Structure 1
Amino acid sequence: MKKINARTLHRDLGYFYLGLILSFAFSGILMNHRENWHPDKYTLNVKAIEVQLPDEKDINDEFAENLAKSLQIEDKIKRHMVRKGKFKMMFENTEVEIDTKTGKGEILEFVKTPFISQTMKLHKNTSAWWIYFSDIFGISLIFIAVTGAMMVKHGKHTFKRRGWKLTAIGLIFPILFLLFF
């Protein structure tokens, strides 16, 4: 029976997970900036509307549902509100915003940005299978990091002489970020 070599295991796990690392890195960058370009809400259609709104006190669930039907919106209402002079209704793939004084507004219909929104599911997926796979991936990344740190055994750039300092800085940085930002 052949003895398992840590260097070989480190290399082979690194190769195996390279595609997943790239996918997670790409989707993570996209997730970091999702508020700037809304990959889950790519605007497909904008339609101007004008409706007669009742007094703000008369705007309720029943009114919102009837208005949605009259505007031919098939989605189920997630929520509605009157805020800063605007009546807003939010649906799965549609948003309606109407000025309460003029009754003028617009319907925004959305579709997900192809490929990019699907890639972002890597970070949002909650299926048991994906969670276990992600746990194994995380443990493997820890293994790759630790074995990689231990590979240099001689000289001034070993983990014992220099690497631990850089590792400490690498650990302190996210802690400081969490504390101060």
Structure 2
Amino acid sequence: MPEPERRRPARWRPWLRALHRDIGYVVVGLTFVYALSGLAVNHIADWDPNFHNYEARHQVAVPLPEDDRAAADRVLAELAITSPPTEVYRSDARELSILLEGSTLHVDLDSGAVLEDGQRPRLVLRVANWLHLNRGKKAWTYIADGYAVFLLFLAASGLFMLPGRKGLVGRGGVLVLLGIAVPVLYVTLSGGP
């Protein structure tokens, strides 16, 4: 009795796996940028992912000059701040506000108490968000489009990596349907756009 003919493995699968692996390596850096930024931007109501807000208290000697500009110059000199103010104005009769790049000094002219509030950039997250939100436009649009195409390829090629019960016709197909069901159910249950 002749032995039944064994099904030969598809010759394209090793090529698909190699291409899937290599493209996966290429997009790792971009995936980290987009994933990190996505997590940060999703919670923008809870915190500022681009800047760290801070407050600091200082004290300067009194009395301060009555002239706003002279008072501002003296406060800046005592606090060893060398950057020039962008604006100096009276918030009220006895409070002087000195706007600097990234911070504001609120000076109590009677006591010499200075409240500094400002922002410092969160370097990694700020850059990741800038890229993710395509603030750079032009060339970055092509890079982001290429990344999206690579992600589509990775998703599609992943469907055909394994044959049989562990692949698309078995467990893989069930998992694909589960992945599709998540956004569909969310849109349906939340009332959609």
TM-score calculated relative to the size of structure 1:
0.60
* Largest Rg, 1 or 2: 2
SS of 1:159 mapped into structure 2: coil
- 2:42 is equivalent to residue 16 of structure 1: no
Partners of 1:35 and 1:108 lie apart in 2 by 20
- 2:133 is equivalent to residue 124 of structure 1: yes
2:54 corresponding residue in structure 1: 44
User: Which sits farther off after the overlay, 163-172 or 12-21?
Assistant: 163-172
The residue type paired with residue 159 of structure 2 is A
TM-score calculated relative to the size of structure 2:
0.57
Cα separation, partners in 2 of 1:108 and 1:177, compared to 1, 3 Å: farther
Partners of 1:148 and 1:26 lie apart in 2 by 23
Partners of 1:176 and 1:45 lie apart in 2 by 44
Partners of 1:67 and 1:135 lie apart in 2 by 50
Partners of 1:177 and 1:107 lie apart in 2 by 44
SS of 1:160 mapped into structure 2: coil
The residue type paired with residue 154 of structure 2 is I
Which consecutive residues of structure 2, in runs of 5 or more, have no partner in the other structure?
A: 1-11, 59-87, 106-114
- 2:118 is equivalent to residue 109 of structure 1: yes
What is the deviation of 1:166?
1.7
Counterpart pick for 1:73 among 76, 86, 99: 99
Alignment of 1:29-40 (within 5 A): 29-40=39-50
What is the deviation of 1:122?
2.5
Cα separation, partners in 2 of 1:110 and 1:162, compared to 1, 3 Å: same
SS of 1:170 mapped into structure 2: helix
Partners of 1:7 and 1:176 lie apart in 2 by 32
The residue type paired with residue 71 of structure 1 is S
Q: Residue 33 of structure 2 contacts residue 132 of structure 2 at CA under 8 Å; is this kept in 1? A: no
Which consecutive residues of structure 1, in runs of 5 or more, have no partner in the other structure?
A: 49-64, 76-92, 97-105
1:58 corresponding residue in structure 2: none
Q: How many residues align?
A: 138
SS of 1:31 mapped into structure 2: helix
Alignment of 1:149-160 (within 5 A): 149-154=159-164, 156-160=165-169
Percent identity reads 24
